[in-house]
Amino acid sequence: AQRVTQPEKLLSVFKGAPVELKCNYSYSGSPELFWYVQYSRQRLQLLLRHISRESIKGFTADLNKGETSFHLKKPFAQEEDSAMYYCALSGSNFNKFYFGSGTKLNVKP
Amino acid sequence: ETGVTQTPRHLVMGMTNKKSLKCEQHLGHNAMYWYKQSAKKPLELMFVYNFKEQTENNSVPSRFSPECPNSSHLFLHLHTLQPEDSALYLCASSPLATGELFFGEGSRLTVL
């Protein structure tokens, strides 16, 4: 069965510190992985996707199939990065998306 | 208005009421979704529509009844709900090919 696990409900770091939000998954096929973000009073939106291999707002994520992980990283956190972050997976046809329970990132000044 | 629009934003209903949630998108997307977001739980996929056809019913109780009259509109009809159905209901659409979901702001439902 498909499952997305985000073990940390809350992560607090100081501005300028590195940040890593953990995501582990289980999926029977070959998954596509995503990170979505929800800033305060805004709707949920795509941050980045594995297939694009891009860096958005300084964030990157590497798919590790051996460890079934897709951790989100940023070397220097900014206060504006404070938000809820959701890891998600889909099959290759993008028909269904499964989300983790989210991690709240709090970047302190 | 661009993007995905959901109405109403807030809804309070009794257990015997019948109400509907509406979702509208004019992004030209082919797929639309209903998700349920409860406190401290993952987003739960409820229904998926591709090209107006329902392709997924994720074991949702029959007191939730979706309707997709065209590719731009999606409804969630609610009937004899339970207090545990109180949650934020999110609608999303997707062009499918890109794998990106576009979410509405949600309808906050409270069942008394």
DSSP one-letter string for B35-80: EEE-TTSPPEEEEEEETTEEEEE-S--TTEEEEEEETTEEEEEEES
Chain B residues within 8 A (CB-CB) of chain A? 4, 31, 33, 35, 40-43, 45, 48, 50, 55-56, 90, 94, 96-106
Residue A2 confidence class, pLDDT cut points 50, 70, 90: confident
Q: Could you read off the pLDDT of A75-95 as tens digits, one per residue?
A: 999 999 999 999 999 887 777
* Average pLDDT rounded to a whole number, residues A28-39: 91
| Residue-averaged pLDDT of chain B | 90
Both tokens assigned to A12: 């607090």
Contacting residues of A for B42, CB less than 8 Å apart: 4, 98-102
**pLDDT at res. B18:** 92
* Average pLDDT rounded to a whole number, residues B6-29: 93
Dist. CA B92–CA B35, nearest whole Å: 8
| Pairs of residues, one from chain A and one from chain B, whose beta carbons lie less than 8 Å apart | 52
Taking an 8 Å cut-off on Cβ atoms, the answer to whether A99 and B42 are in contact is: yes
**pLDDT at res. B110:** 95
Taking an 8 Å cut-off on Cβ atoms, the answer to whether A101 and B41 are in contact is: yes
Q: Could you read off the pLDDT of B21-39 as tens digits, one per residue?
A: 999 998 999 899 999 999 8
CA distances (Å), origin A30, targets A54, A63, A86, A94, B80:
20, 11, 20, 11, 39
Taking an 8 Å cut-off on Cβ atoms, the answer to whether A95 and B41 are in contact is: no
Q: pLDDT at residue B6 above 80?
A: yes
